[in-house]
């Protein structure tokens, strides 16, 4: 991609979520001089979208996704998806024995908690690994600093407070660290007070909710937004549902003075359903990476 002659950042409040690029040359299939690049598309290394002749920020349809491509180990987004999928699967597996004890007693024994606790902890490490890659990616793809990539140095730390994708990644990374503490303390629950398990769980869940909100606003560019044909919308929406389920689980995991959870069944169901939501959303990150050539005679509104 050749460097654009002009970059016009477009803001949602104080946040830059899109940019209009003028003077584009050398972009395959983009004969127009002005194109629109969203923050998420820039981060995922997807091409800009042709602006239509009509006024405003109307653009060509988002290209159709290729649902039959799965292998892309040369792309950071692919590794993020795989690591999030493994972490989500382990969280779902860890919650399952408590939901269906009779089914699992035959090969896990009467007390499956130690195995579940280890499964949760290992799953949290995969979450943190994926979140660290996501944060690294967002630090190196600031929509307000679009260029052709020549001479660009990789940064290992950056502060991008006007980039919602970066804020979502940073907040979620902090949340995964808190879940490391939460699940790690579950391995040694007899030698520390109960609040050392519950407080990281609660605050980590709040972080996941806040990150989901930032991710939604980044792709929506406004408060109210629904697009049934937009894969990115469904990724953020399903992730949001998973965050809500984790938050419900955290409330239900409060340990009372009697040493019992407020609602053990709700806590386990919240973890299980939340993990399934994260698993589905993580898988959808893979087809998001692959796009087919769009039809040139279609029209669409910004999404």
Kindly state whether residue 165 falls inside one of the protein's structural domains. yes
Kindly state whether residue 13 falls inside one of the protein's structural domains. no
Whether 195 has a pLDDT exceeding 80, the answer reads no
Kindly state whether residue 3 falls inside one of the protein's structural domains. no
Kindly state whether residue 19 falls inside one of the protein's structural domains. no
φ, ψ for residue 97 (rounded to 5)? Answer: -60, -30
Kindly state whether residue 14 falls inside one of the protein's structural domains. no
Kindly state whether residue 298 falls inside one of the protein's structural domains. no
pTM higher than 0.85, yes or no? yes
- CA 133, distance to chain mean position in Å, is 11
Provide the H-helix boundaries in 39-194.
Answer: 39-43, 76-99, 101-108, 113-139, 164-187
Which of these ranges, 29-43, 164-178, 285-299, has the smallest mean pLDDT?
285-299
Distance CA 15, CA 161 (A): 8
Q: Which of 210, 214, 203 is nearest to 178 (CA)?
A: 203
Place of tokens 């990616």: 137
Average pLDDT rounded to a whole number, residues 235-244: 97
Kindly state whether residue 249 falls inside one of the protein's structural domains. yes
Structure tokens at 139: 């630090």
Query: 36 forms bridges with which residues in the sheet?
Result: 20, 49
State the residue range of the domain holding 186: 76-289
Provide the H-helix boundaries in the chain.
Answer: 39-43, 76-99, 101-108, 113-139, 164-187, 195-220, 231-252, 264-289
Mean of pLDDT over the chain = 85
> How many domains does the chain contain in total?
1
Kindly state whether residue 261 falls inside one of the protein's structural domains. yes
């Amino acid at each position: 991609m050749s460097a654009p002659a002009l970059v016009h950042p477009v803001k949602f409040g104080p946040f830059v979520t899109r940019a209009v690029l003028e003077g584009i040359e050398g972009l395959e299939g983009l004969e127009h001089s002005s194109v629109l690049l969203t923050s998420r598309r820039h981060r995922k290394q997807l091409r800009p979208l042709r602006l239509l002749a009509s006024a405003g920020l109307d653009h060509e349809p988002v290209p159709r996704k290729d649902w039959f491509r799965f292998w892309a180990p040369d792309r950071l987004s692919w590794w993020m998806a795989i690591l999030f999928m493994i972490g989500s699967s382990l969280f779902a597996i860890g919650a399952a024995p408590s939901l269906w004890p009779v089914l699992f007693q035959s090969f896990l024994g009467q007390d499956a908690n130690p195995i579940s606790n280890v499964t949760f902890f290992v799953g949290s490490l995969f979450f943190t690994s994926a979140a660290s890659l996501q944060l690294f990616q967002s630090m190196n793809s600031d929509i307000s600093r679009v260029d052709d990539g020549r001479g660009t140095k990789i940064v290992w730390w950056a502060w991008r407070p006007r980039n919602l994708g970066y804020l979502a990644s940073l907040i979620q990374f902090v949340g995964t660290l808190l879940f490391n503490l939460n699940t790690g303390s579950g391995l040694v629950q007899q030698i520390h007070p109960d609040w050392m398990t519950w407080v990281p769980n609660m605050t980590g869940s709040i972080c996941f909710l806040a990150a989901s909100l930032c991710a939604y606003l980044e792709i929506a560019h406004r408060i109210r937004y629904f697009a049934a044909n937009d894969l990115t919308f469904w990724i953020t929406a399903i992730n949001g549902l998973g965050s809500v389920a984790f938050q419900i689980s955290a409330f239900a995991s409060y340990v009372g003075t009697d040493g019992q959870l407020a609602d053990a069944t709700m806590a386990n169901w919240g973890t299980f359903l939340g993990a399934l939501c994260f698993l589905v959303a993580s898988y959808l990150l893979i087809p998001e990476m692959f796009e087919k050539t769009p039809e040139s005679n279609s029209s669409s509104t910004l999404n």
